[in-house]
Amino acid sequence: MAWWNNAKLKTYSDVAALWETCRFPEKGKPVSTNIRLFKKDNGAFELRNGGVTFATIYPANFVELDNYNYIPVGIYKTIPIFINRIDRGRYRIAHVKTLPIINEGFSYFDWEYLRKKAPEFFDGIAFDLATGECLNRKADLKYRAIPEVSRQWKRDIGAWQRGWKVRQRMGVTEGYERDILALEHIALVRAILDQLHEERLREVVKCIKEQDFSVGAYVYLRHYGAMYNPNLDVEAGLKALFGRYRDDLRKIYGVFG
C-alpha cells in the first residue's frame, strides 16, 4: 500500500471502533503523540491537536477540517487527508484517493496536483471519506477578494503603520517599553500571552480597524515583532507581523468575504 494511503482512521466506522477502546472519555482517546479523539453528543468525533479541534468526522462518513495551524503535516497517517503549503497562510488539501498516481510501481503521486490543482484550504472544507470527493470546494483565495474591502484594508494598515512609526520617533513606544519592563502592565502582557494565536490575530485586526495605538496594541505588536527581533524596532515588528500573517489578518478583516 502506498505510503500516503495508510491512515489509521479511514472511515467513520474506523473512528467509532477506536472510540470503543477509550477508557476515559472525558480525557479523549490518544491517537498519536499530540492528537486525541473526542466524541460529541451528536455522534460526531473531533480530532484535537494541543486541545484545538482541527477535524470533525460525522456519522454520514465525511470529515470537516478547520484551524490549519493545528493540522499536523503528517495528518495522512491519521486520516486520509494530505495538506501542502503553497504560500504564507495558504494551503491546498486533498483526500488521498484523489491524488493522481504518476508511477504505480514506485508509488509516486503527482505533487503538481497538490501545488496547483487541489482545493485550497478554508475553515469548514469537507471531504467524503468513501469517495474522496471535496463536498464544498470554493474558488482560490485570491479570486475571492472583495475589491472595496481590500482597498479599505490597505488604507487602514497604511494609517496604522504610519501611526506607529510617528509614535516611535516621538518616544511614545519607549515609554510603553519602560512601563512593560517596570511590570506596570504585567497583567495585560500575561493575558495576551494566554490567548490562542487566532485570538491574538483577531485583536490585532481590531486594533487596525480602530486605529488603536494604546499600550495594549503595542504589546501585540511587540509580541509578534519580538519573535524575529528581540530588540524591537517598530518598523521591523510591523514588517514581521504583516510578512508572516498577511493573509490570516486579511481573512479576519473580511477581505475575502
- 125 in a structural domain: yes
For residues 205 and 248, the answer to whether their CB atoms sit within 8 Å is: no
Alpha carbon distances (Å) from 156 to 58, 150, 151, 257: 41, 10, 9, 17
Task: Decide: helix, strand or coil at residue 162.
Answer: helix
Q: Are residues 135 and 204 in the same domain?
A: no
Q: Are residues 179 and 235 in the same domain?
A: yes
pLDDT digits (tens, 9 = 90+) for 68-111: 889 998 999 999 999 999 887 789 999 999 988 876 555 677 88
Q: Are residues 118 and 52 in the same domain?
A: yes
- 3 in a structural domain: no
Single residue among 103, 118, 142 that ends a domain in this structure = 142
Q: Which domain holds residue 183?
A: 145-253
For residues 58 and 12, the answer to whether their CB atoms sit within 8 Å is: yes
Q: Are residues 172 and 225 in the same domain?
A: yes
pLDDT digits (tens, 9 = 90+) for 71-81: 998 999 999 99
Global model pTM greater than 0.85:
no
Q: Are residues 162 and 248 in the same domain?
A: yes
Q: Are residues 130 and 245 in the same domain?
A: no
List Cβ neighbours of 22 (8 Å cut-off, separation of 6 or more). 28, 29, 37
Considering its fold, how many domains does the chain have in total?
2
